[in-house]
Chains A and B, each alone.
Chain A
Amino acid sequence: SQELEQSPQSLIVQEGKNLTINCTSSKTLYGLYWYKQKYGEGLIFLMMLQKGGEEKSHEKITAKLDEKKQQSSLHITASQPSHAGTYLCGADIRGNKLVFGAGTILRVKS
């Protein structure tokens, strides 16, 4: 079973549309990270969230941490083909080791 559940598993959006990816933990979150992965390549660090209510943005990608709900959301505004890839959340929920969700595959149709 996954300690970090991501939803949806995959989605296809039309270019220009907004979308949200969720990452939910079964345990308390001690920091959460979002990564992006192009097919078969390494993971690129996007953002790190450490405090409840914290929200960070990078270009058109915004991530927020809701500690009470043990959840983080990643929101992309006006999606572009360059946003396509797999988005993974990672979190320290066991103390001293980072675990990852299974990933959300995003396809953006032109």
Chain B
Amino acid sequence: DADVTQTPRNRITKTGKRIMLECSQTKGHDRMYWYRQDPGLGLRLIYYSFDVKDINKGEISDGYSVSRQAQAKFSLSLESAIPNQTALYFCATSDNRGSNSYNSPLHFGNGTRLTVT
């Protein structure tokens, strides 16, 4: 079983619909992240959470919201989907306990391919 599981793997939705992407992890990591990937733009950070009570905006948080339901669960919501939110979305975790620097790598899920028509 994957350590970082994203559901669904694929989703097609219509403009204006609210959707939720879910992420769960069995790695016991405190830090969780949501990224989107677009061709030619690489990965861009949407939101991140360093523990259950901590939520932070990334560089492209507009149009998105998140919920950290537990240490192991971090969900991403699109309140009203629009076509330019069509992308590949990744959840990731890391174990940087007690450190402000990245001294351990991010572990990624397999991604959710979202299409907004």
**How many A-B contacts are there with CB distance less than 8 Å?**
60
Which B93-117 residues have a C-beta within 8 angstroms of A? 100-111, 113
What residue of chain A has the Cβ atom nearest to residue B109's Cβ? A42
Segment from A12-20, A52-60, A68-76, A88-96 that makes contact with B: A88-96
Is B58's CB within 8 Å of the partner chain A? Answer: yes
Give the CA-CA distance A63 to B102 in the complex, in Å: 18
**Residues from chain A with Cβ under 8 Å of B111 in the complex:** 40-42
**Residues from chain B with Cβ under 8 Å of A35 in the complex:** 108
Contact of B102 among A92, A100, A102, A103 (CB under 8 A): A92
Q: Are A45 and B107 in contact, with the CB atoms below 8 A?
A: yes
Which B54-79 residues have a C-beta within 8 angstroms of A? 58
Q: Are A102 and B58 in contact, with the CB atoms below 8 A?
A: no
Give the CA-CA distance A48 to B103 in the complex, in Å: 8
Known A45-B105, A90-B43; 8 more pairs at CB < 8 Å:
A2-B42, A35-B108, A42-B111, A88-B43, A92-B102, A100-B35, A102-B40, A102-B41
